[in-house]
Structure 1
Amino acid sequence: MSLETLAHDVDQVGRCFGLAYAPCLTTVPVKNAAFSVTRLRRDVAQVPVAVRLPAQNAYFLMLYLDDVSHCDIRPDGSLTVPRLYPRGSICLVDLGQGASIMLQTSLDTLAFVIPHDLFDEMGELMVDLTASSLRCQRGVADTIVAHMGTALLPLLERKDMSSAATLRHMAIAMCTHLLHDYGYLPELDDVPVCQTRILSEGQQKAAKDYVLENLQKNLSVALIAAAAGVSARQLSLGFRQATGMTPYQWLMQMRIARSKELLAQRALPLQTIAHRCGFTDHSHFTRAFMRETGMTPAAWRNYRLQ
């Protein structure tokens, strides 16, 4: 994903709230999926303001920096009862079908857009994560997100190189917190007997075959799911059920396995192996390989082939 595309996606958040030049920052914490934060300050006088967020495969998280009142706009255009969101509370929704609200009072918030794929990519960093989707939250006090938001405010004003590095680490920390506190993976006992197996054998095979045939490419859960003819959510849940891993964790295992085969060819440069196995660069290859084996690729090659 290009920087221009990232900038456009982030600017879209401000435009949805009628703020063309809202301060925003974006980063790619792991591999491809982008994490963004936007400072939204919108005055509401006498007339409520409608806000409509387009559908996308992402979660939308708002941290309220001041008390605000708003309600949801239902698909038929009717309004829910207005609700007070106190300062320091959050609202977390899935944008799979978009979202619409009506602001009743002025808004001061930090808005985060977190793609579904980013949570799957987190499996590369933390193999103990047990969820890949989140429960929606409304008006819940969250001191951890509140403290992170406070730390992000000066970064939105500064926007220098140190801001980008800090944002990347904070994005990983926030995603980890959200998964641990609001993560959700339905228990198999809750699934009807006729649907106990979330993915059929054929769907599992299609997904795995697609991964193995395209290790060199930038793969996302959405692409793998499309190859298997299922939704991204169904793939994530089904993969966890069948393998005990997220699709991204399984993908990384396959990349490591393929890299070991190529390492047997002593004349093949490590950079070439990294590229053929789909790693971003040599550094990404080394970090992933060490997490799996405890050794660098070069050390593993020398040890195994001596």
Structure 2
Amino acid sequence: MTDAYQNRSQSFLRAPAISTLDLGVGIHRISATRAWSGTENNGFTLPHAQEEAFMLSLQLVDYSGDILLKDRKLSFRQQRANELQLYDYRRPWSANLRSAYDCVNFHVPLEALNSALQTSEKRRVQTLRYQAGEPMSDPVFAALVRAILPSLLRPEEANLLFLSHVSLALATHVADRYAELALPRATTRSRLAPWQERRAKEMIDANIGGGLSQQALADACGLSAGYFARAFRETVGMPPHKWLLVRRVEHAKHLLHRSDIGLAEIATACGFADQSHFTRVFCRLEGATPGVWRRQHRYG
């Protein structure tokens, strides 16, 4: 018996009456199980298999019992009819089923939620936001449960296309409402958004003389320094420090063309260490010294 099958079939509940239905196909399909008992003091659940999945449980009647998370008893006492309770199969937990119950439990693999994500950023579900032991009201989820109850009662009449539709609707709703998404990992293909590129370039131009750190640029763009550096290079075609040199030379060309300021003064105004530094950088980018460039363009 595989981990997924043990949890999907809800065999650890030891319920006297149980009905399980797959809502789709494939290894990451969502399954629904209706489990019920008309008697009280049903005892503790058996240990469940730990896997990358969640159990979403909706009670059809008022239920009371105990929940233990890593052997620590939670404050949970009652789950009313139509309330939703979330359980993480990645963590060890158990329940003492004190009262009669009638519930529909969904086995939802993490990959099923990732498949339902409507995002172009390729983010992934890290976990679901919920407070262990605190039932929640979710009318949309309750309506989806009601929609498949006839299929759970008469699985031989179930329409797989309809069940697949409900499965996608359920996964999309859960991902939209409860998912906590992990940020996409930075790659060499990361790019700045237009506003981030504009903001970074404006800051560089405003600090042409120096004194601007890469961390300050990254903070202004809401990014980590490493991510910003990779994204800037991918977007602009060069790292930030080289772009600063390009902008310094452009500013210097403007002064050379429009003023009679000496080369040493221009070097200082544009943030170069000295005239020699200015000449080396200018010659490398423009193919001529500042003096030659000025004579060629002064009246152009």
The TM-score normalised by the length of structure 1 is: 0.52
Secondary structure of 1:97's partner?
coil
User: Where do 1:17-28 residues align within 5 Å?
Assistant: 17-19=13-15, 22-28=18-24
Alignment correspondent of 1:248: none
Q: Which amino acid aligns with 1:42?
A: S
The structure where helix makes up a greater share of residues is 1
Q: 1:167 aligned to 2:159?
A: no
- Residue aligned with 1:53, SS: coil
Report the CA distance between 1:101 and its aligned residue. 1.3
Aligned AA (2:109): P
- The letter of the residue matching 2:49 is P
Amino acid at match of 1:95: Y
What per-residue deviation string (whole Å, max 9, x for no partner) do you get for residues 163-199 of structure 1? 322111101001111111112136x7xxxxxxxxx86
> How much identity, in percent, do the aligned residues show?
21
Give the equivalent residue in structure 2 for 1:157: 153
**Structure 1: tracts of 5 or more residues without a match:** 189-197, 205-241, 243-306
Deviation at 1:92, TM superposition (A): 1.1
Cα separation, 2, equivalents of 1:6 and 1:16? 11
In the alignment, the residues of structure 2 paired with residue 56 and residue 155 of structure 1 have an alpha-carbon distance, to the nearest angstrom, of 27
Going from structure 1 to structure 2, the CA distance change for 1:98 and 1:168 (only over 3 Å counts) comes to farther
Q: Does 1:38 align with 2:33?
A: yes
1:104 to 2:110 alignment:
no
Q: Quote how far apart the aligned CAs of 1:68 are.
A: 0.6
| Residue 56 of structure 1: aligned partner | 51
| Structure 1 residue 78 displacement after superposition | 4.9
What displacement does 1:10 show?
A: 6.1
CA distance in 2, matches of 1:78, 1:91: 18
1:155-234 equivalence runs, <5 A: 155-160=151-156, 162-185=158-181
**Cα shift at 1:7:** 9.5
Equivalence for 1:72 = 67
Matches of 1:10 and 1:27, distance apart in 2: 15
Aligned-partner Cα distance in 2 for 1:201–1:97: 31
| Pairing 1:91–2:85 present | yes
Please tell me the residue identity of whatever aligns with 1:12: S
Number of residues of Structure 1 aligned to a counterpart in Structure 2: 186
The alignment yields a C-alpha RMSD, in angstroms, of 3.4
SS of corresponding position for 2:14: coil
Provide structure 2 residue ranges, at least 5 long, that are not aligned to the other structure.
Answer: 190-226, 228-300
CA change 1:9–1:33 in 2 (3 A) is same
Q: Letter of the 1:183 partner, please give it.
A: A
How far did 1:94 drift?
Answer: 1.5
* DSSP-derived class of the 2:51 partner: coil
Query: Could you give the per-residue CA deviations for residues 232-282 of structure 1, whole angstroms, max 9, x where no partner exists?
Result: xxxxxxxxxx8xxxxxxxxxxxxxxxxxxxxxxxxxxxxxxxxxxxxxxxx
The Cα shift of 1:54 comes to 2.3
Aligned to 2:9: 12
TM-score, with structure 2 as normaliser: 0.53
- Inter-partner Cα distance in structure 2 for 1:163 and 1:148: 15
Matching residue's letter, 1:71: D
Alpha-carbon offset, residue 143 of structure 1: 0.7
CA distance in structure 2 between the partners assigned to 1:170 and 1:6 by the alignment: 24
